[in-house]
Structures are given as C-alpha cells and as structure tokens.
Amino acid sequence: MTPSTGIAPVAFSRSFADPEGSPIRELFRHLAQPAMISFAGGYPSPALLDAEGLEQACAQCWGDAAASLQYGPTEGNADLRESLAGLSRGRGVACDARDVLVTTGSQQAFDILVRIFIEPGDAVVVEAPAYPAALQALRLAGASILQVPVDEHGMQVDMLREMLAVRGTQGRPKLLYTVPNYSNPSGTLLSAERRTALVALAIEHGFLIIEDDPYGQLYFDEPPGDSLHAVGRTCAGASNPVIYLSSLSKTVAPSLRIGWMVAPDRVLRRSVVAKQTMDLCTSPLAQRIAATYLALDRYEAAVLRSRATYGARMQAMTLHIDNHLHGQLTYLRPLGGMFIWARTVAPVDPDRLFHACVKAGVLFVPGKAFFAAQPDRHAMRLSYAAPDIHDIGEGVNRLAGVFRQLQEQPT
C-alpha cells in the first residue's frame, strides 16, 4: 500500500474554502529582481529606524531577562500601557492606562473588533479606496462591505448620509472603519467639518467608528487636528462611538509589532478574551523593549526626523511626476503619511502597465487591491517612504519610460 502524503479530505470552513491572500504581499516576489525600485510597500525608511535607541532599550531589558522572557498579561505590560495612554492623550484621545489594550500591531486590534462585533451578513462601512488588510478581515468574517468614496478631503460623508437614508433602520451598519489621517492608500486627511458630521451620523444611526491612526504623527506642516475620538467625546461624552487604534510600526520599528486599542471597558473585556485565543499576549520582550524605548525620551526626536524626511521625499516624488509624467498621471498631494494615490490619464491598459513596470525595475501597487467591489483599475498607490530621493527620481523616470513605450506600442 502506498502511504498517504496528504491529510484527510476534511472540508475547510466556508471563509477559508478559497481565501484570497494579501494583494500587497503577493508583490514581494518581485523585490528579488536585481535593482528593483519599490514604491509598493508602506515600509518606514530603514535610515529612520532609531537602532541606537532600540539597542539601549534592549540592553536595559536584558538587565531583567527573566521578566522579559516570561508570559505577560493579555492586556499588556503595565509600563507600556501607561506610555501608550500618554501618547494617545497627546493626540486628544482622553484615556488612562486601564483603557488601553496592547495588540500585535493595530491590524490585530481591528481583527479583534471584527471578531467581537461582526456576524456573517452584518454591514460595515469602509472608505474607498481602503486598506486591503481591513478588507481581507471583513471578507473572512462574512461582512457585507459598504464603500463610501473619498476625495481630497477624505471620506465623502454626505454620500454616507445618503446611503444610510436609503438603507433605513434594517440596513444600518454596525461598524465604520476609517484611516482619517493621511489614509492608506489615498493619503487624504479627513476635514474637521467631516469629522463632526461623521460622528453625528454614528450617534444618529447607532454604529461604531473604528479610527485607525498609524500615520497621524507623520504630518508635514500642520498637525491633523482633533481625532475622531476627541470629537466623539465632545459630542457624546461617555457614549463616545469612536474606538481608537494606533501603532508604533511606522514611528519606532515594524518588527516590534506593537499596536494598541483605546476603548470602553465593555469592549476591552471582550477584546481581551478574543486576544487570548490568538496569541495569549503580545510578545512580552517586544513590549518591554518598546516601553523602555519610550521611557528613554527619544520618540519625539525620531518622529521629527521622519516628518522632515518623508516631507522631502514626497516633494521629490511629486516634482518628478510633474516634470516627467505630466498628462500621464493625476494624483492627490498628501499633507502627511507615506502614500500618493494616482490615476492614469492616458488610455493605458493597467495590466500591461504593471507588468511592463516590473520588467523595467519599478514596482507599485495596482489600485484594484484597495476596493471591496467595483475597483478603480486605473489607479495606483505609490509610497515614497522607503526609497531615498535618488531612487525616487530614478523610479519615476522608469515609470515615465514605460508610459512612453506603451504609447509607442499601443496594442
């Protein structure tokens, strides 16, 4: 008898019968191509990671290695929760350490909220375009995803109001997910007027807003203004409809995988139970390193360097686009963050454009990755965060060369 090399043919769950992976992660295989310039990943610049400060933090943690290597509380390291509450208060998010749950990145925080709130068929509102990992989590949960377009001022709240009026009480959403500050992928900043209007709609229609804020500290000129959480507290007090998420991945180091959630006790208690089934606790070693690093008082200086560097790189990318792709691309000019959202003006087939760019050694994320339905296939996300200014110029030159090539060979 020939031994079996597979597992018994037990059916997968409906959600994982034929799941789609991350469309951005699928692009990683192209990074192995020699001399590839990537505008694809939303990675912090390696030059901005405070390796010296993190080395000091690691050294201090090893002074109490036993505590760093043991299990920790699901809610998170007490010192880190205190520090993260302080960072949140500095952004207008009124909270104490007891209101904070430490998570393995803010993506885990969102996944936890989807688990504790969403049943198959429940409606969830997202901005369009939206962060792909959030769409992935909602699809796997069986949510009904409702898209609201963005413009240069963020989510078009008037269109959301119209949508809610048409759907009535039977079709009201449970959750709305938004990245209001320098959104991934559109780079837009939700205006103050729309923040107030959005919170008012949440109160009127009884849904929760999940405010994901990994980029809010990376502004170029002026800070983004009041958080949605602050607006919600002003409008609704203790019945604030906004749950706040953030992360240290873009400002300290992605590898630490430190995110956090600020939410009322009724949400945090259930979130803790959900987290216990995932990883029991976020890495205690990573948490102690993060807490020690924040106590070293180097965070603000690191963020200032990031703002200046990303601002200069954004200026370089938009200047090169204006000089070399005028009439080929339109784009939204960001006021912060890591991304430019662009659309092709010339009649270029999106698939041909992408594959020709890979061949030419420049990588971007096609726009279709950022929609739950009816994708904008002529859009693209360009990140200026990781490549230096020289590579930004060379990458845009390669992109412009591809446009010229495809226009000369239109078939």
Reported as a single tens digit per residue, the pLDDT across 326-342 is: 999 999 999 999 999 99
Complete DSSP assignment for 352-408: HHHHHHHHHTEE-EEGGGG-SSS--TTEEEEE-SSS-HHHHHHHHHHHHHHHHHHHH
Domains 20-49+301-408 and 51-297 share a fold: no
Q: How far apart are the first and last CA of the chain?
A: 55
- Mean pLDDT of the 193-219 span: 98
Contact 170, 62 (CB under 8 A): no
- The region, left, alpha or beta by phi > 0 then psi within -120 to 50, assigned to residue 8 is beta
Position 176 pLDDT exceeds 90: yes
285 or 33, which is more confident: 285
For 50-54, 63-67, 143-147, 394-398, which range has the lowest pLDDT when averaged over its residues?
A: 63-67
Token code pair at residue 376: 């904008």
State pLDDT tens for residues 40-49.
Answer: 988 999 999 9
- Indicate the CATH number for domain 20-49+301-408: 3.90.1150.10
Predicted confidence (pLDDT) at residue 24 exceeds the cutoff of 80: no
pLDDT exceeds 60 at position 4: no
Q: What is the CATH number of domain 51-297?
A: 3.40.640.10
Q: Is the pLDDT of residue 211 over 90?
A: yes
338 secondary structure, DSSP code? S
Those residues whose C-beta lies under 8 Å from the C-beta of residue 372, and which sit 6 or more positions away, are 126, 128, 130, 135, 138, 139, 145, 147
According to the model, what pLDDT value does residue 5 have?
60
pLDDT in tens, 259-295: 999 999 999 999 999 999 999 999 999 999 999 999 9
Q: Considering only CA atoms, give the Rg of the chain.
A: 22
d(CA 258, CA 99): 16
For all residues of the chain together, what is the average pLDDT?
93
Whether residue 30 is predicted with pLDDT greater than 80 in this model: the reply is no
Lowest mean pLDDT among 17-26, 218-227, 250-259, 394-403: 17-26
The model's confidence at residue 346, banded by pLDDT at 50, 70 and 90, is confident
The confidence score (pLDDT) of residue 352 equals: 93
86-102 average pLDDT score: 97
Whether 125 and 148 have beta carbons less than 8 Å apart is answered as yes
Q: How far is CA 78 from CA 32, 97, 287, in A?
A: 41, 8, 10
Q: What is the domain partition of the chain in residue ranges?
A: 20-49+301-408, 51-297
pLDDT band at 180 (very low <50, low <70, confident <90, very high): very high
Instruction: Give yes or no for residue 2 having a pLDDT over 60.
Output: no
User: Tokens for 23?
Assistant: 């469309």
Model pLDDT, residue 52: 97
Helices 78-90, 284-295: axis angle to 10 degrees equals: 50
- Range of lowest pLDDT (13-17, 330-334, 363-367, 390-394): 13-17
Q: Is the C-alpha dihedral spanning 409, 41, 278, 271 positive or negative?
A: negative
309 against 171, higher pLDDT: 309
Distance of alpha carbon 328 from alpha carbon 343, whole angstroms: 8
Picking from 8-17, 217-226, 264-273, 395-404, which range would have the lowest pLDDT averaged per residue? 8-17
